Structure 1
Amino acid sequence: MTKKHIHCRDAYPLSTSDLMPQLPDPARRQLLKMMGATGAMGAASSFLAPLTALAQTTSGPDYKALVCLFMYGGNDANNLIVPRDTAEYGLYRTGRSNLALQQNALLPLTTTPAPAGSVDPARYGLHPAMTGLANLYTQQKMAVVANVGPLIAPVTKAQWNARSVPLPAGLFSHSDQQDAWQSAIYDTAGRTGWGGRLMERMVAEGSPNRGYACISMSGGNLWETGDSSMLAYKMSSSGSFGFDFYKADSATDPLTIAIKQTLADQRSHLFHQAWLTTMGRSIEMQQVLSNALKSSTVGTAFPNSDLGRQLNTVAKLISARASLGLSRQVFFVSIGGFDTHGDDQMQQQQRLFGEISQAVSAFYQSTVDMGVANGVTLFSASDFGRTFASNGQGSDHGWGSHQFVVGGAVKGGQLVGTLPNHTLNGPDDTGSGRWIPTLSTDQMSSALARWFGADSSVINTVLPRAAAFNALDLMA
């Protein structure tokens, strides 16, 4: 994603050195470096409700967490869920040409026992790199949500051709569809995310440690941006902090003393004082989370991949939930590399799907080990699906896609919705296998929000298009 930076030096004539007491050069350089490095991480904190010390209450038995796993670039889910029956696989093989997976390599979607009304397990299979997720499906801890995408209203192919119903803006565009998935605003640019809007209403203003209700392991994101004061607190995937050298209780460490003196200074210039306040709150927030993580006990082994490290840190934060006293949290993790126009798609997906499967499996196991599996739900999202037809090398930008939802409260072992007819230029195809979604992202999101504890009035506010669609039976 492209990030835009606004430079306003003339309007904000602040030099860090102007704010600092005189220090020996090495300590001075370290302080400058670390303040610069943590500026992005702490920038959000000036907008948050006043922090408290570690909450003395526990999160209680009602704790719930949502984890959004975003696959940047547009995952080609045509190779995530693949037909296995002879007739449908024949259509798949013809339409995919060089991108088709071997039928005998697919992992069957089987359950023990199969839930009533679930899809025939002989009909579909998972990508062969998804062994961990296939096991979760078998255990009925994972569900597949088929052919889901942004919709303002239900759309048929005839309505698509006639443009007789409103369509989401910016279809097939990376940035527009990333925003659409994360914001649930489809007819204009989204400025807030449905996760952040949900948390504005689920965690009361002024609640202890409210600033940690939304935590991102993957930098800034729209999904956790609220419509009032809620913003994501950003951490590194390792769980480390930029001000690790700061010793809050020390009365002798010269660098700590210098920071305390600097932050205690009062400035008449509005922007000077705002800078000091923001930096002070960033350090304070770090101290709260750092102390909370010290109480974390996660013994589950995680893969040493970037996504594995992100989800390991999320697990540690969930383990420390009692220290923060929050009953609701949302987390954002991501993995990139899905913009597979080129001839590396098969190898790229093999690697990426393997990383996802291993990391998500470990994460689910960690929730079991912590005794919170029924209170933690992870769901996937991506820019869009990709074309069913090959472009000769990889695949191009599409629309409808398949997602997965994992957790103890998921009605797992089922494929929710309907996979598209795999006939090119068929009833579900806008061209080249750009599937018209048969489920709206709002149906998936509102099912998660209901499980999270949101009532109908909150859901209708957070997901304004949800009322146009039938409810999805996804969560217990």
Structure 2
Amino acid sequence: MPQFTRRRFLVGSSVLGALGLAGGSVISWDELHRKAATSPLATGAGILVLVTMYGGNDGINTVIPYADNAYHDARPELSYQPQDVLHLDGQLGLNPAMKGFAELWNKQNLAIIRGVGYPHPDHSHFRSMDIWQTASPDSPVATGWIGRWLDATGDDPVRAVNIGPVLPQLVLGEKHTAAALDPTTTPLTPELSTALAGLAATDPHDSPAQAQVCAGYHAEQTVTQTFSWLGTKPAAPGTNPLAAQLELVGRCVKAGVPTQVYSVSMGGFDTHADERRTQQQLLGRFDQAVSAFLTDMSGHPRGRDVVVLAYSEFGRRVRANASQGTDHGTAGPVFVAGAPVKGGWYGDEPSLTDLDNGDLKTTVDFRDIYSELLHRVIATDPGPAVGVARHELGVIT
């Protein structure tokens, strides 16, 4: 095996290259119990789980205005008949695949925020998701809203964790990022771990760039020691990927890991054709994963402090296209669920006839939701992350 010197490693290191930022950490699986035992999350501390639904989920066929004739007129073959919908009241209901969410609604642990979007909406997947993840509709910025919270509140590399090897923009800050917990990572051999030991030690002769790499390696060691006890095991064929991600989150929460924000995701919601079958399958997986996770959390003392936010970069247009799908739209529903949630409707239901060039008009700014979650769940000042003077909706009890 080649011999490593600290300076040779630091000069040529690409440890952080995959993340693009100094201070980023890829989580492996050594000694999580030690971190949870020595600095567990304080009892009663809120935990926020962010679920990103990539592709632009069709909110109109998710929270369905089954009693509105305009819905059936705009989608004569794509619409759901009233008898097929999971009724929430006399006007609206859930997609038939979302039985678990219907139960959460009945338990008053599900808030549905209607008409969520931002001013001057963009139909591009990339730009719209960038806006949602940076909370900056007016101009592009490099940092995400969770990343700015990390920058403002300290340097512990496990305060926020993304499940998966690629960090979404929402968790990137100028100085700090979330840790990336990749369940497919192969642990380092004892030989390599020994060879790399000590590389995180400071050296007064380091250049600023070398010191940044050193700091990043030190953060990686901290994360490694925090999460190792979970162990890794490949997902069985046919496993619901979102359920597998949330299962890892649940294990971390129960262990008392000092993480307050987790990020998970699923894709496939860009339903330009054959939407009804495709979306219903996706919503079924989404519903099964999230509702099972929250049921599991409800039985654990720490889990009862968990709140889930589920969102997509935009909704779809009101009228179906010629391929029995829908094209990129604007506003859509956002779900907030968990024991601390005051269930019910929030935000005005957008009109299906008073449209903006075929699109729904936004009735709730998504930054208001972020602000309340930071304030009420994370117990932090939301200003550095999403700005001041936001309007809370009263979703969190």
Q: TM-score when scaled to structure 2?
A: 0.84
Maintained 8 Å contact 2:66/2:81: no
Shift of 1:338: 1.0
* 1:246 aligned onto 2:189: yes
- Counterpart residue number, 1:411: 342
* Gaps in structure 2 of 5+ consecutive residues: 6-12, 27-31, 232-237
- Counterpart residue number, 1:370: 300
Deviation readout 1:121-142 (Å, 9 max, x if unpaired): 1211100000111111111111
Superposition misfits of 4+ residues, deviation over 3 angstroms: 17-21, 35-48, 254-281
Shift of 1:263: 7.7
- Counterpart residue number, 1:149: 117
- Counterpart residue number, 2:394: 473
Equivalent in 357, 377, 380 of residue 431 of structure 1? 357
Maintained 8 Å contact 1:443/1:471: yes
RMSD, aligned α-carbons:
3.2
SS at 2:76 equivalent: helix
- Counterpart residue number, 1:80: 62
Maintained 8 Å contact 1:267/1:273: no
- Counterpart residue number, 2:326: 395
SS at 1:418 equivalent: coil
Maintained 8 Å contact 2:115/2:332: yes
Structure index of larger Rg: 1
**Letter aligned with residue 189 of structure 2:** Y
SS at 1:370 equivalent: coil
Equivalent in 219, 222, 246 of residue 169 of structure 2? 222
- Counterpart residue number, 2:179: 233
In 1, the alpha carbon distance for the partners of 2:40 and 2:206 equals 41
Maintained 8 Å contact 1:44/1:233: no
* 1:311 aligned onto 2:311: no
SS at 1:286 equivalent: helix
**Letter aligned with residue 394 of structure 2:** D
- Counterpart residue number, 2:234: none
In 1, the alpha carbon distance for the partners of 2:224 and 2:55 equals 31
Deviation readout 1:103-130 (Å, 9 max, x if unpaired): 2110011xxxxxxxxxxx1211100000
Shift of 1:190: 2.5
- Map residues 48-447 of structure 1 onto 2, 5 A cutoff: 54=35, 56-85=38-67, 88=68, 90-109=69-88, 121-151=89-119, 167=120, 171-201=122-152, 203=153, 205=154, 210-218=156-164, 219-226=166-173, 228-236=174-182, 238=183, 240-242=184-186, 244-247=187-190, 254-260=191-197, 278-279=216-217, 281-291=219-229, 293=230, 304-321=239-256, 324=257, 326=258, 329-341=260-272, 343-393=273-323, 394-412=325-343, 414-423=344-353, 427=354, 429-432=355-358, 434-447=359-372
Maintained 8 Å contact 1:150/1:184: no
In 1, the alpha carbon distance for the partners of 2:223 and 2:302 equals 25
SS at 2:170 equivalent: coil
Q: Structure 1 residues 75 and 19, CA, compared in 2 at 3 Å: closer, same or farther? A: farther
Shift of 1:83: 1.8
In 2, the alpha carbon distance for the partners of 1:392 and 1:422 equals 19
**Letter aligned with residue 75 of structure 1:** N
* Gaps in structure 1 of 5+ consecutive residues: 1-16, 22-34, 110-120, 152-166, 248-253, 295-302
Deviation readout 1:253-299 (Å, 9 max, x if unpaired): x44444448888989885678657645653452122214x47xxxxx
Shift of 1:233: 0.6
Shift of 1:354: 0.4
Shift of 1:98: 2.7
- Counterpart residue number, 1:460: 383
In 1, the alpha carbon distance for the partners of 2:146 and 2:206 equals 36
- Counterpart residue number, 2:10: none
Maintained 8 Å contact 1:446/1:466: no
**Letter aligned with residue 90 of structure 2:** A
In 2, the alpha carbon distance for the partners of 1:311 and 1:83 equals 30
Maintained 8 Å contact 1:375/1:409: yes
Shift of 1:333: 0.6
Deviation readout 1:408-448 (Å, 9 max, x if unpaired): 01111x1111212222xxx2x1122x111011102221221
Shift of 1:381: 1.3
**Letter aligned with residue 113 of structure 2:** V
**Letter aligned with residue 221 of structure 1:** P
Q: Structure 1 residues 261 and 196, CA, compared in 2 at 3 Å: closer, same or farther? A: closer
**Letter aligned with residue 331 of structure 1:** Y
Maintained 8 Å contact 1:211/1:233: yes
- Counterpart residue number, 1:12: none
Shift of 1:46: 5.7
Maintained 8 Å contact 1:184/1:442: yes
- Map residues 22-33 of structure 1 onto 2, 5 A cutoff: none
- Counterpart residue number, 2:375: 450
Shift of 1:471: 2.7
Percent of residue pairs identical = 28
In 2, the alpha carbon distance for the partners of 1:263 and 1:61 equals 31
**Mean Cα deviation higher: 279-288 or 383-392:** 279-288
**Mean Cα deviation higher: 343-352 or 278-287:** 278-287
Deviation readout 1:144-165 (Å, 9 max, x if unpaired): 11011113xxxxxxxxxxxxxx
